[in-house]
Structure 1
Amino acid sequence: MADDPEARRVSELLDRITRGELSEAETEELELYAQGDPELRAVIAARTSQAALGGGWLARVEADHRIARAERSPRVLLERGLGGLLVALGVVAWAAAPVLGPALAVAGLGLLVYSWIRVNHSQDPYKDIQR
């Protein structure tokens, strides 16, 4: 069944119902698949009621998961590791090199702040909410 393109498409459309992202064309496409299949019609009805019950909750959870995945990406881990290393080296070097130590610490903090803002602002699911 995993190799069946129609089954994959139906599964994708059912997932889009649950997330509340189904367009009119996709609704018509799903209706074509459901013609003569009462089991699929029952699944569509269940998914529709599940989407109405969730009221956007699933979209918020998925956005939170996107942020978590972005924070575990190799680029972010490298940025934050390098930022932490620069801060640590800056603090240690502060006594030996009063000019270089603070500069390293500030550069490391700047890199950490840049990394945090870049990940959290671009992935933030709540940034467009108006109160």
Structure 2
Amino acid sequence: MADDPEARRVTELLDRLTRGELGEAEAEELELYAQSDPELRAVIAARTSQAALGGGWLARVEADHRIARAERSPRVMFERGLGGVLVALGLVASVVAPVLGPGLAAFGLAVLAYSWIRVNHRQDPYKDIQR
């Protein structure tokens, strides 16, 4: 069922309905899917009431989950691991080579800062909020 393109599309439309992002054309498309499926009609009714109940809260929670997923991505884990290793090596090297050590530690901190800013700025759900 996960490989069925229609089932994936219906799931995507239901998710957009729950988040309150469903456009008019997509609502009509979902209605076409629901014409022959009474179970889907019940799911649509439940999701509509869930969307009315949750309002914008669900979108903010999903945005927080996107940040958490981005934090666990292989690229971010590699960047942060590399930055941590560079900081540790810089601290150890500062005892042996006082000129090389602090530079290596500073570079490791820069890698960590870049990784954190890149992930959190791109995924931040609140960056576009205007007061």
Give the letter aligned to residue 44 of structure 1. I
State the identity %. 85
Pair 1:82–1:35, CA change in 2 (3 A): closer
Alpha-carbon distance in structure 2 between the residues aligned to 1:107 and 1:59 = 36
Alpha-carbon distance in structure 1 between the residues aligned to 2:13 and 2:38 = 17
Is contact 2:71–2:77 with CA below 8 Å preserved after alignment? yes
Pair 1:123–1:3, CA change in 2 (3 A): closer
Report the alpha carbon displacement of residue 78 of structure 1 after superposing the two structures with TM.
Answer: 1.1
Instruction: Compute the TM-score of the two structures, normalised by the length of structure 2.
Output: 0.86
Instruction: Compute the TM-score of the two structures, normalised by the length of structure 1.
Output: 0.86
Q: Deviations over 1:19-47 (max 9, x none)?
A: 11111101112223334655543432221
Give the letter aligned to residue 13 of structure 2. L
Give the letter aligned to residue 83 of structure 2. G
Residue of structure 2 equivalent to 1:45: 45
Is contact 2:19–2:55 with CA below 8 Å preserved after alignment? no
Residue of structure 1 equivalent to 2:18: 18
Residue of structure 2 equivalent to 1:101: 101
Give the letter aligned to residue 115 of structure 2. S
Pair 1:90–1:37, CA change in 2 (3 A): closer
Tell me how large the CA RMSD over aligned residues is: 2.0
Report the alpha carbon displacement of residue 111 of structure 1 after superposing the two structures with TM.
Answer: 0.6
5+ unaligned residues in a row in structure 2: which ranges?
none
